[in-house]
């Protein structure tokens, strides 16, 4: 595209508005359907274009109008998905001054009278073009009466008339109208695609700007090309060519500082976390954006845990990526899931808070408060240990027997009573006499705890999902690999354990069938725990009340049986609330 001939500055969104389908990025599916329809001469008489604002609905409608009426450079062409752009029809449609292409904004023309004009106009043949095209923007704003008026024309459309409806809220369109239209959902543009697009425009404009800065713009635009171009305009006007200045422009905190904050929260250091939040706020970060950033970080770390490839984010520098990988290794998936849930809830509630910064601070205090609570796995372990020991031994805290009221069983939701198993603490398996192996993990569980303690997230994941234990003695593991287990699992486990314990381990793959993997056991135990929690009358009542609620077992604090018995009259409603992961 050429420079503006008049020399005056033209906003990028206008200057780079697509003139044909090839320039319309990210909407290939729609273009394919249209191409087919045009080629087979089966052009529908009404199309409805839906999608978020700034996605290109009106632009698309104009391109379709051009395609319908283009006569080609030699004046003999028919309808085409590749309008020439230069014939009299193409030129005047793009400038919105074609007599037969009528654009109407339903947001300001909602009534039956406005529609009546359209219906009247539709009766007459086009003045000069092939088709009379009505482009109605924000169609959902039309009154019921107006829709009814339109319906008659849609039911028996004159051959020379085409309707193009654009709407951001397709649900508000009457079904009777929708059923007479072909619908196109315009997609949000992938960030990668948008970054590419922005980069090509920067090149055309001879503007140098960091990819990281473009990535931030693409992210903020949430898939809207127009918004991304407006932000790019603003960045260029501000002289912001690097990520730091774009961040300031967007009110975003530095990514590294978001990670700092996230780290402090995960450590449960509420004081330092609040100080960091306030400091970021002072330097221009919007509290809501910070909460969003924290949620995004949670999502990013979770995907990093699953696979480094999935967590590809062009907005990140190498340092940040390395720190993220380290964090992902140490944090459990359950903790991340819980954090995500709490952040989403906080964002939902933000509008009801007296101020955004207050809401953000309260969220951070809450997150810090639960950061040291046991995860459901630890709880389940505690529960099964208790069950196993319920015959004789008694725990450090009063635990209800198996016969007590269902509520009392909830007392497993304690934080202080659960400690991560220490390798040395458990003596379950016999120790070979000839050698002192007492410093080695005495059970396979203790091995898992050791891997977790050493923060080798990848190995932990592989062991938990890929290893079916056949036999364990300290220094020796025999297992059967689960389906999909990595081939190098035994080698890696051997090396890691030998290094950590300063002992030569033997890790072998055996022929005998092994037991369940840890992750299989865990999901069963979670299931049975959930079943038990569900039976709690209070929980059952809550689930009955909130039909769509999803049960999310999040331990908050230790409750005694008396407290639990009191719950219906208790004032600690906040705790109850968390038993039902309300939606
Ligand atoms: Zn043309």
Handedness of CA 219, 224, 225, 227 (dihedral sign): negative
- Within a 10 A sphere around the Cβ of 466, how many other Cβ atoms? 22
pTM of the complete model: 0.53
Q: What is the pLDDT of residue 192?
A: 87
- Asked if the model's pLDDT at residue 545 lies above 80, the reply is no
- Within a 10 A sphere around the Cβ of 316, how many other Cβ atoms? 19
Confidence bin at 249 (pLDDT 50/70/90): confident
Do residues 462 and 518 touch, judged by C-beta distance below 8 A?
no
Tell how far the Cα of 131 is from the centroid of ligand 1, in angstroms.
13
Do residues 536 and 406 touch, judged by C-beta distance below 8 A?
yes
Tell how far the Cα of 60 is from the centroid of ligand 1, in angstroms.
15
Q: Average pLDDT of 212-241?
A: 87
Instruction: State pLDDT tens for residues 412-422.
Output: 333 333 333 43
- Distance CA(554)–CA(33), nearest Å, equals 48
Q: Is 135 helix (H, G, I), strand (E, B) or coil?
A: strand
- Asked if the model's pLDDT at residue 483 lies above 50, the reply is yes
Q: Average pLDDT of 108-117?
A: 88
- Within a 10 A sphere around the Cβ of 219, how many other Cβ atoms? 20
Tell how far the Cα of 530 is from the centroid of ligand 1, in angstroms.
65
Q: Which domains does the chain have, with CATH numbers?
A: 12-185 (3.40.50.300), 191-250 (1.10.8.60), 255-370 (1.20.272.10), 436-519 (3.30.300), 536-583 (no CATH)
Q: How distant is the alpha carbon of residue 253 from its chain centre?
A: 19
Whole-number percent of the chain with pLDDT over 90: 33
- Asked if the model's pLDDT at residue 349 lies above 70, the reply is yes
| Of residues 352 and 48, more confidently modeled | 48
Instruction: State pLDDT tens for residues 452-461.
Output: 888 888 899 8
- Asked if the model's pLDDT at residue 564 lies above 70, the reply is no
Q: Average pLDDT of 72-81?
A: 91
Tell how far the Cα of 56 is from the centroid of ligand 1, in angstroms.
20
Tell how far the Cα of 128 is from the centroid of ligand 1, in angstroms.
13
DSSP 460: H
Tell how far the Cα of 224 is from the centroid of ligand 1, in angstroms.
27
- Distance CA(525)–CA(512), nearest Å, equals 25
Q: Average pLDDT of 50-60?
A: 88
- Distance CA(93)–CA(364), nearest Å, equals 53
- Distance CA(482)–CA(515), nearest Å, equals 10
Q: Average pLDDT of 186-215?
A: 91
- Distance CA(526)–CA(553), nearest Å, equals 9
Calculate ∠ Cα 410-412-413, nearest 5°.
80
% helix, strand, coil for the chain, step of 5? 55, 10, 40
Alpha helices in 390-488 (DSSP H): 444-453, 457-466
Instruction: State pLDDT tens for residues 271-304.
Output: 999 999 998 888 778 899 899 989 989 998 999 8
For residue 21, the number of C-alpha atoms closer than 13 Å in the C-beta half-sphere is 20
Tell how far the Cα of 171 is from the centroid of ligand 1, in angstroms.
34
Considering 234-243, 310-319, 527-536, 569-578, the range whose residues carry the highest mean pLDDT is: 234-243
Q: How distant is the alpha carbon of residue 340 from its chain centre?
A: 10
Q: Average pLDDT of 137-152?
A: 92
């Amino acid at each position: 595209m050429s420079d503006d001939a008049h020399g005056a500055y033209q906003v990028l969104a206008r200057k780079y508005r697509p003139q044909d389908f090839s320039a319309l990025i990210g909407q290939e599916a729609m273009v394919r359907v249209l191409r087919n329809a045009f080629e087979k001469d089966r052009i529908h008489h009404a199309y409805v274009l839906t999608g978020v604002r700034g996605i290109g609905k009106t632009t698309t409608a104009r391109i379709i109008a051009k395609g319908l009426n283009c006569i080609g450079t030699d004046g003999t062409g028919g309808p085409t998905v590749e309008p020439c752009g230069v014939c009299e029809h193409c030129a005047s449609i793009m400038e919105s001054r074609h007599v037969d292409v009528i654009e109407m904004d339903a947001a300001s023309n909602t009534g039956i009278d406005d529609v009546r004009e359209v219906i009247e106009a539709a009766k007459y043949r086009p003045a000069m073009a092939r088709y009379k095209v009505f482009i109605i923007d924000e169609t959902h704003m039309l009154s019921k009466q107006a829709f009814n008026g339109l319906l008659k024309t849609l039911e028996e459309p004159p051959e020379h008339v085409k309707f193009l409806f654009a709407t951001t809220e397709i649900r508000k369109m009457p079904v009777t109208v929708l059923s007479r239209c072909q619908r196109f959902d315009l997609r949000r543009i992938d960030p990668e695609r948008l970054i590419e697009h922005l980069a090509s425009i920067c090149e055309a404009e001879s503007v140098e700007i960091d990819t990281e800065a473009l990535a931030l713009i693409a992210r903020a635009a949430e898939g809207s090309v127009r918004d991304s171009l407006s932000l790019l305009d603003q960045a260029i006007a501000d002289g912001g060519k690097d990520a730091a200045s774009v961040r300031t422009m967007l009110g975003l905190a530095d990514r590294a500082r978001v990670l700092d904050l996230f780290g402090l929260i995960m450590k449960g250091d509420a004081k330092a976390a609040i100080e960091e939040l306030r400091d970021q706020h002072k330097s221009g970060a919007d509290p809501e954006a910070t909460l969003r950033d924290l949620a995004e970080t949670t999502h990013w770390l979770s995907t990093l845990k699953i696979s480094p490839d999935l967590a590809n984010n062009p907005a990140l520098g190498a340092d940040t990526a390395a720190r993220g990988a380290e964090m992902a290794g140490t944090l459990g998936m359950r903790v991340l899931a819980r954090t995500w849930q709490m952040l989403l809830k906080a964002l939902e509630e933000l509008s009801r808070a007296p101020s955004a910064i207050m809401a953000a601070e309260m969220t951070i205090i809450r997150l810090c408060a639960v950061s040291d609570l046991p995860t459901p796995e630890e709880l389940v372990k505690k529960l099964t240990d208790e069950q196993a020991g319920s015959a004789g031994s008694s725990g450090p805290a009063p635990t209800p027997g198996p016969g007590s009221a269902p509520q009392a069983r909830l007392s497993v939701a304690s934080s202080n009573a659960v400690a991560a198993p220490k390798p040395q603490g458990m003596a379950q398996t016999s120790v070979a006499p000839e050698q002192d192996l007492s410093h080695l993990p005495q059970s396979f569980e203790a091995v898992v705890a050791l891997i977790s303690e050493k923060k080798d997230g990848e190995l932990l994941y592989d062991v938990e999902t890929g290893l079916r234990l056949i036999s364990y003695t300290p220094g020796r593991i025999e297992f059967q690999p689960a389906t999909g287990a990595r081939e190098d699992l035994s080698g890696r486990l051997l090396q890691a354990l030998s290094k950590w314990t300063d002992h030569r381990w033997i890790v072998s793959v055996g022929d005998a069938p092994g037991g369940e993997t840890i992750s299989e056991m865990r999901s069963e135990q979670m299931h049975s725990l959930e079943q038990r929690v569900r039976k709690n009358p209070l929980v059952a009542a809550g689930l009955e009340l909130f039909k769509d609620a999803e049960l999310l077992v999040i331990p908050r604090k230790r409750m005694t049986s008396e407290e639990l018995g009191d719950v219906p009259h208790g004032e600690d409603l906040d705790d109850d609330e968390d038993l039902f992961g309300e939606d």
